[in-house]
Chains A and B, each alone.
Chain A
Amino acid sequence: MRVATARTSGPDALDAALIACATGTADTFAPVYDALSPAAYGTALAVLRDPDHAAEVTQDVMVELWQTAARFDPARGSARTWVVTLARRRAVDRVRSEQARRHRDQRDMDQSGATAQYDVVVEHVEQRLEAAGVRRCLGSLTQTQRDAVLRAYYGDRTYREVAEDLGASLPTIKSRIRDGLIRLRTCLGVDHG
């Protein structure tokens, strides 16, 4: 049976520090902030590409991390993965609500706008990928898988929007993203078996 899940690496000192925050004071949180805020900020910056917006999201994420420390389960993943998950969700939510607002303000918005936006950020994507841990593994993806995954990650596109952008069917894009992440999982050695 699996009530709790196993993870690739054992719980580390950082995980223990975050767990301690569940019953600790603000002082307990300071070292956790120092260790994890760069991951939160880097994640938010990749999505938002605006330092001020990324800083606002990071502030909220780090406070949320403190408030929800009791829910952190090191059996399911590292503290770093946890904060990245929180940061990405918040940053993407912010982009989507901003997009919705713009759609309301500008009803005749050019349908190709999003694709153009992706093309503009290709350079930014390549710069960031140079330093990302996943970079060495992207070669294990087919070109179409890589394109779909990167559009979803850096273009902040849903898989439905990626399908529209590329003129491909929904099942096709869903499969490319799924197969792409499965290949990355294998290459990175992520196995919670």
Chain B
Amino acid sequence: MTGSSDFARAWGWTMADDDHDLLPSYALDAVDDTDRHAVERLLAADPDARRELDEYREVVAAFTVDERPPTSLRDQVLTRVAADARHSTETASATGAAPSPRPVTRTSHRPVAHPLRRRLAALGMAAAVVVAVAIPTTIAIQSQQTQRELQAEADTIAQMLADPDAQVLTAEMDGGGEVSALVSAGHVMLAASGMADPGDGHDYQLWAISGDTISSAGLIHPVDGSATALLEAPAGTTLAVTLEPAGGSDQPTSEPLVAVET
């Protein structure tokens, strides 16, 4: 690490401390856009802050008093949902993909693709890896909430890509497919391509293994055989993918298809 990195980290830490006190106000949506952005940067970088936010959100949810909405609303919502589901299926078919429910996945967002592509290209990575992070063009992000979350992720990825010490790892998956991982300062950006359809009743699940602890890092829903995920993982964490019963498992129930040591 250079002196300037140490300075940036020290500065970031001071700011993060201050922003940390804003987590309860953020959970109440009692922050303006400037504060909101600062807190989201903290959340992108600090899993403990995310855990704390989850707790405050549960507190805020305890203020809720259920009220029966107008009965006409049910049909309106289900009609929109049916139209949305049909549109997604048609779009997937039109592009020659297996019908998939909706192409909205956690990190698939077009603006993310470009810097990552450039960086991977600059690193001289194989073309296959670049393909791995190609993002479907059919994604329609509609809510501000989603945009903000994606912005926080994009900021994290931008920081990772700016890190000269970032590493790129690749590994083959059993059963077909390849996983590449961009590893930088406690974050890992995973990109998988060529994944087989998990089949009815199954999902791919991502795991983070540290010592004896195996934690679920969520399900992977490939679109056109490709998927991306951004997660926090301290150096030395091993990431693995298994095939699990639909909805995932608390702990892995099958042999890893691939494992990446960060």
Q: Are A5 and B77 in contact (CB under 8 A)?
A: no
Cβ < 8 Å to B, chain A residues 1-39: 1-5, 7-8, 16, 19-20, 22-26, 29-30, 33-34, 37-39
Q: Are A23 and B64 in contact (CB under 8 A)?
A: no
Q: Are A23 and B246 in contact (CB under 8 A)?
A: yes
Interface residues of B: mostly helix, strand, loop or mixed? mixed
Given contacts A66-B84, A67-B104, A81-B57, contact A38 B63 (CB under 8 A): no
Q: Are A2 and B51 in contact (CB under 8 A)?
A: yes
Chain A residues in contact with chain B, CB under 8 A?
A: 1-5, 7-8, 16, 19-20, 22-26, 29-30, 33-34, 37-43, 45-46, 51, 54-55, 58-60, 62-64, 66-68, 70-71, 73, 75-78, 80-81, 84-86, 88-90, 92-93, 128, 131-134, 137, 149, 152-153, 157-160, 162, 174-175, 177-178, 180-182, 184-185, 188, 190-192
Select which of A128, A162, A184 is within 8 A of B30 by beta carbon.
A162
Chain B residues closer than 8 Å to A19, beta-carbon distance: 219, 247-248
B47-83 interface code vs A (CB 8 A; 1 in, 0 out): 1101100111111111111111110011011101110
Chain B residues closer than 8 Å to A128, beta-carbon distance: 65
Interface residues of A: mostly helix, strand, loop or mixed? helix
Query: Can you list 14 A-B contacts with CB-CB less than 8 angstroms, sorted by A residue number?
Result: A2-B51, A3-B237, A4-B208, A23-B246, A40-B69, A63-B81, A80-B64, A84-B61, A92-B29, A128-B65, A159-B31, A178-B23, A190-B58, A192-B51
Chain A residues closer than 8 Å to B80, beta-carbon distance: 59, 63
Chain A residues closer than 8 Å to B63, beta-carbon distance: 46, 132-134, 153
* Any A CB within 8 A of the CB of B28: yes
Interface residues on B, range: 35 or more
Q: Are B57 and A90 in contact (CB under 8 A)?
A: no
Chain A residues closer than 8 Å to B105, beta-carbon distance: 70-71
Give the shortest distance, in Å, between B28 (CB) and chain A (any CB): 5
Q: Are B145 and A64 in contact (CB under 8 A)?
A: yes
Query: What is the chain A residue whose CB lies nearest that of B58?
Result: A190
Q: Are A184 and B81 in contact (CB under 8 A)?
A: no
Chain A residues closer than 8 Å to B100, beta-carbon distance: 23
Q: Are A66 and B81 in contact (CB under 8 A)?
A: yes
Could you say which of A76, A89, A157 has the most chain B C-beta atoms within 10 Å of its C-beta?
A76
Query: What is the chain A residue whose CB lies nearest that of B141?
Result: A67
Q: Are B62 and A63 in contact (CB under 8 A)?
A: no
Given contacts A92-B29, A133-B62, contact A62 B77 (CB under 8 A): yes
* Any A CB within 8 A of the CB of B257: no
Chain B residues closer than 8 Å to A92, beta-carbon distance: 29
Give the shortest distance, in Å, between A24 (CB) and chain B (any CB): 7
Q: How far is the CA of A141 from the CA of B138 in the complex (A)?
A: 49
* Any A CB within 8 A of the CB of B32: yes
Give the shortest distance, in Å, between B64 (CB) and chain A (any CB): 5
Q: Are A181 and B58 in contact (CB under 8 A)?
A: no
Give the shortest distance, in Å, between B222 (CB) and chain A (any CB): 11
Give the shortest distance, in Å, between A31 (CB) and chain B (any CB): 11
Q: How far is the CA of A174 from the CA of B60 in the complex (A)?
A: 16
Select which of B25, B55, B76, B231 is within 8 A of A178 by beta carbon.
B25
Select which of B25, B62, B76 is within 8 A of A132 by beta carbon.
B62
Chain B residues closer than 8 Å to A77, beta-carbon distance: 54, 57-58
* Any A CB within 8 A of the CB of B106: yes
Chain A residues closer than 8 Å to B25, beta-carbon distance: 152, 158-159, 174, 177-178
